[in-house]
Amino acid sequence: MPALPAGYQELARARDRILAAARDNPGIVNLDADYVENKPQLLIEIDRARAGDLGISVNDVSQALQTLMGSRRVSTYVRDGEEYRVIVQADNPDRVDEARLSSVYLKSRDGALVPLSAVLVTREGSTAKELGRFNKMRAIVLQGGLAPGYTLGQALTFLENEAHSSPEITAIGYRGESQALKQTGGSIWVVFGLTVLVIYLLLAAQYESFIHPAVIISAVPLAVSGAVIGIWAAGMTINLFSQIGIVMLVGLAAKNGVLIIDYANQLRDAGKDVAEAIREAAIRRLRPILMTSLATVAGAVPLAMAEGAGAGARSAIGMVVVFGVTIATAVTLYLVPVLYRALAPYTSSPQTVSRRLQSMMRGQREDAEAPAA
């Protein structure tokens, strides 16, 4: 048989076990729950044995309690064509004290009047101010912080293991950053791979070659390694926001190679050989590369040094961009020319086919214009 949904008292027992286990985990800080039994309440139960001996039904006791403590619709009447409801309810002074239960009487089996308090058992208890629900199920929400060096993924794995060991818990849900990590944390690397593939194919179509895009994309691993170094130096972890920054680095790192290789191809189209073309392109494009990289890094520094609310997300992205772009720029200025010098001889100039077609068309025109012998 399927298990019945757990009540709040059962969930509270599971909550206490999880909180006790989390206190022994130094990576989780200030873990707390939204269900805290700090609201006093008066619990009223019917003494069924006493009520049965007196011949008073549970329905009579229930209606009396509803009338006294709440309100009960007993009838309607019509006046001037309008229908009005008749609501029975005790006055406010009679609903604020449990002693008022003795002022309400019920008729027993033999017709005697019995105080309502004679068939009731009252006790004091406590409950939470709000009863939370998630996906139409009773739920208790846990919130907490992370110690430096402890990732959100590690914390969720720990809490999930503790929750699975509690039989009262039938389902686990996520909110906020935890929900975002569960939804996109695993797919962000797929997005990263697709981004690299799309950029490679676009560059291959532009340069009509599979070698030139490979030389340009070679700067991406350097940018990612620089981002990892920056995250490690800042004492951060690879979280959702740093992963977003790494995806951004694909385009930021590829632009340097595009500047160098595009100009080197123009020089090759002008008739220069590979070594001379890449040497001049690296020298000519040094200033634009440094200017764009410095502008990008300067724009990301305020993000990396962010403070206050939401600083964790902004600083993670900023740190990835600052270190990734810096290291990628420093290494790309040497790596891209070296790879181009080694691989470009196996490719033709981008305008080779166009020049051949123009040469053939020019030769055909000259043959057509030549006088017949």
CATH annotation of 43-127? 3.30.2090.10
Asked whether residue 4 carries a pLDDT value surpassing 60, the answer given is no
pLDDT tens figures, 98-115: 777 777 888 888 888 888
**HEC secondary structure over the chain:** CCCCCCCHHHHHHHHHHHHHHHHCCCCEEEEEECCCCCEEEEEEEECHHHHHHHCCCHHHHHHHHHHHHCCEEEEEEEECCEEEEEEECCCHHHHCCHHHHHHCEEECCCCCEEEHHHHEEEEEEEECCCCCEECCEECCCEEEEECCCCCHHHHHHHHHHHHHCCCCCCCCCCCHHHHHHHHHCCCHHHHHHHHHHHHHHHHHHHHCCCHHHHHHHCHHHHHHHHHHHHHHHCCCCCCHHHHHHHHHHHHHHHHHHHHHHHHHHHHHHCCCCHHHHHHHHHHHCHHHHHHHHHHHHHHHHHHHCCCCCCHHHHHHHHHHHHHHHHHHHHHHHHHHHHHHHHHHHHCCCCCHHHHHHHHHHHHHHHHHHCCCC
Mean pLDDT of 285-304: 86
pLDDT number for residue 371: 61
Distance CA 149, CA 237 (A): 6
| In the chain, % of residues over pLDDT 90 | 0
Range from 57-61, 174-178, 326-330, 352-356 carrying the lowest mean pLDDT: 352-356
For the chain, residues classed under CATH 1.20.1640.10 are: 185-358
Average pLDDT (187-198) is 79
- Could you report the per-residue pLDDT of 6-58, keeping only the tens digit for each? 678 888 888 889 988 988 888 898 888 888 777 777 788 888 888 888 888 88
Pick 362 or 267 by higher pLDDT. 267
On the question of pLDDT at 1 being above 60, the answer is no
Confidence of residue 184 (pLDDT cuts 50, 70, 90): low
Average confidence (pLDDT) over 63-67 = 81
Q: Flag whether the pTM goes above 0.75.
A: no
Query: Residue 2 has what pLDDT?
Result: 37
Domain span(s) for CATH 3.30.2090.10 in the chain: 43-127
pLDDT at 144 over 80: yes
pLDDT-derived band at 335 (thresholds 50, 70, 90) equals: confident
CATH class of 185-358: mainly alpha
Q: Which fold has domain 1-38+128-174?
A: Alpha-Beta Plaits (3.30.70)
Range 165-170, long-range pairs (CB < 8 A, 24+ positions): 166/13, 166/14, 166/17, 166/18, 168/6, 168/10, 168/11, 168/13, 168/14, 169/6, 169/11, 169/14, 170/3, 170/5, 170/6, 170/137
Binned at pLDDT 50, 70 and 90, residue 340 comes out as confident
- 95 pLDDT exceeds 80? no
Confidence check: pLDDT of 370 > 80: no
State the distance between the two ends of the chain, measured CA to CA, in whole angstroms: 104
Model pLDDT, residue 3: 42
Q: Which residue, chain included where needed, has tokens 């402890």? A: 150
Instruction: Find residue 41's DSSP bridge partners.
Output: 125
Instruction: Kindly report, as residue ranges, where domains of CATH 3.30.70.1440 are found in the chain.
Output: 1-38+128-174
